[in-house]
Chains A and B, each alone.
Chain A
Amino acid sequence: MADLSIDFAGIKSPNPFWLASAPPTNTGYQVQRAFEAGWGGAVWKTLGEPVINTSARFAAVHFGGQRVAGFNNIELITDRPLEVNLKEIYETKRRFPHHTIIASLMVEPKREKWHEIVKRVEAIGVDGLELNFGCPHGMAERGMGAASGQQPDLVQAQTAWVKEVATTPVIVKLTPNITDITVVARHAVKGGADAISLINTINSLAGVDIHSWNTIPNVGGQGAHGGYCGPAVKPIALSMVAECARDREVGVPISGIGGISTWQDVVEFMLMGSTGIQVCTAVMHHGFRIVEEMIDGLNHYLDEKGLASVTELIGKSVPKYSNWGDLDLNYQVVARINEENCINCNKCHIACEDASHQCIDMLTNAEGKAILQVREEDCVGCNLCSIVCPADRAIDMIALDNGAAPMSWNQRSRIISGVNGAYSEAEAG
């Protein structure tokens, strides 16, 4: 069995599986049950000014037979008094001294407010702080959450205020509701952040009831934008993690969040630069015990790969994530249909005819059987046919050696301007 323990910006954790700050980390009862189930850490549901929540507050997007493909909420930070939360954090830490407890914090962008909450929370023995600059709804209307997180200077200033008094590592949680995540990440680091976590939820409206014409969810017939999460947001989260991981000016550990439901998701986030991960929606859907499968799966995977520690995964795929302009334009793949696995549904033919390059022919073979065949010279290797194909191993994408040396768009642009410059000089001369 591999070593699953991590050191996240100085915070030790028995494994990389943390619960994200959210409804599952609302009370000591929940966090203690989670630790008993196997979670290595928990980010306690955001502490801050007393707030009141609405009823209803959650909605889900079910898609193609999968329940909770996406999840949406208009819930705010904790509505329990700070003293009650602190007492329960203290008790939980005492019972589970080797598990990680991070306090998520959100207050008004005022220096003294941050100082006060940091001192009170650290006094009861948390392992670290996570500054919530992400929630897009409710608190943002009061100048907190994403309202702060969308202003890089405010992120930097508030992080610096926290660092003035904090004695534990400070994680800054970023909002994805921004054009370039690295800008805010860099400002968090300039403010002194020891780590970042991302992503928080994405602005969303889960749906509209076409019979009542109410939004989903609705509060007495009225709706508001909420935060989107769950499996549907994973690609967005993964790309933002990757952007931060490869940015040299960011350069701090990353806690990956966003649609993580399986051990495979965990591996992907760690390969793309996360030192640890946080999970919420999958727990809300399936309960704390999903961590058992995650731990088993990760252990087997690491053993299969011959890795002694989960930390050996961190960032291994980051060098493979670059810019479009650096991709090799001469690399070529083509689709190849395996007759023995093809069920002749013709979905690849239709997709190719209507949406791609019309290179899959419907033919009849020597035995009179209908077959589909790719004209490889016309195939641009877009992958569409293999994506729409419902049969396993019926279409392979094969890499071809076309004899052309690698050439990227950036190289191409440089060489064209070079040759044009030389020609212009020759004409002038």
Chain B
Amino acid sequence: MSAFAEFDRERQEIDNLIGLGYTIAGIYEDLDGARVTFIRSEPAGGPVELLLLTADARKHVTTLLVGRTRQTAAEIHR
């Protein structure tokens, strides 16, 4: 599988969870990759964990977080 295809599969998993109303609650990185914890309050459920293996997926998930932070900051300033 090409590197892009591996990344694309992981990106879809992340985007699917975000689309279902999950938010990123924790990112723990080690030699195996990044373990990303997603939580959802409505409807409530247990946390979901993804193990991201590709560098681009790790970049993607934190880009989403940065985007969310910037959006929140912009809303506060509005």
Contacts and interface: CB of A to CB of B under 8 A. Distances in A.
Given A329-B59, A426-B25, A375 B2 contact: yes
Contacts of A415: 62, 65-66, 69
Contact of A420 (B4, B28, B66, B70): B28
A33 interface: no
B69 to A, nearest CB: 6
B67 A419 contact: no
B62 A407 contact: yes
Interface residues on A, range: 20 to 34
Given A329-B59, A407-B63, A411-B66, A419 B4 contact: no
A32 B75 CA distance: 69
A412 B4 CA distance: 22
Interface in A305-346: 329-330
A419 B59 contact: no
Interface in A371-421: 375, 377-378, 404-405, 407, 411-412, 415-416, 418-420
Given A329-B59, A420-B26, A377 B4 contact: yes
Contacts of B69: 415, 418
A24 to B, nearest CB: 50
B3 A378 contact: yes
B62 A412 contact: yes
B8 to A, nearest CB: 8
A29 interface: no
Of the candidates A330, A357, A415, A426, the one having the most CB atoms from chain B within 10 angstroms of its own CB is A415
A423 B28 CA distance: 11
Interface string B40-59: 00000000000000000001
Contacts of A405: 63, 66-67, 70
Contact of B63 (A330, A357, A377, A423): A330
A423 B60 CA distance: 20
B26 A419 contact: yes
Contacts of B70: 405
A407 B69 CA distance: 12
A161 to B, nearest CB: 52
A404 B25 contact: no
Nearest to A405: B67
B24 interface: yes
Contacts of A412: 62, 66
B3 A419 contact: no
Contacts of B24: 419
A2 B46 CA distance: 71
Nearest to A406: B66
Contact of B25 (A375, A407, A423): A423
A419 B66 contact: no
Contacts of B3: 357, 378
Of the candidates B29, B37, B62, B69, the one having the most CB atoms from chain A within 10 angstroms of its own CB is B62
A409 to B, nearest CB: 10
B18 interface: no
A88 to B, nearest CB: 62
Nearest to B23: A419
Given A419-B26, A420-B28, A404 B4 contact: no
Nearest to A330: B63
Contacts of B27: 416, 419-420
22 contacts: A329-B59, A330-B63, A357-B3, A375-B4, A377-B2, A378-B2, A378-B3, A404-B63, A405-B63, A405-B67, A407-B62, A407-B66, A412-B62, A415-B62, A416-B62, A416-B65, A419-B24, A419-B25, A419-B26, A422-B25, A423-B25, A423-B39
Given A375-B2, A378-B4, A405-B70, 17 more contacts: A329-B59, A330-B59, A377-B2, A377-B4, A404-B60, A412-B66, A415-B65, A415-B69, A419-B25, A419-B26, A419-B27, A419-B65, A420-B26, A422-B25, A423-B25, A423-B39, A424-B26
Closest CB pairs A-B (n = 6)? A377-B4, A423-B26, A423-B25, A412-B62, A378-B4, A407-B66
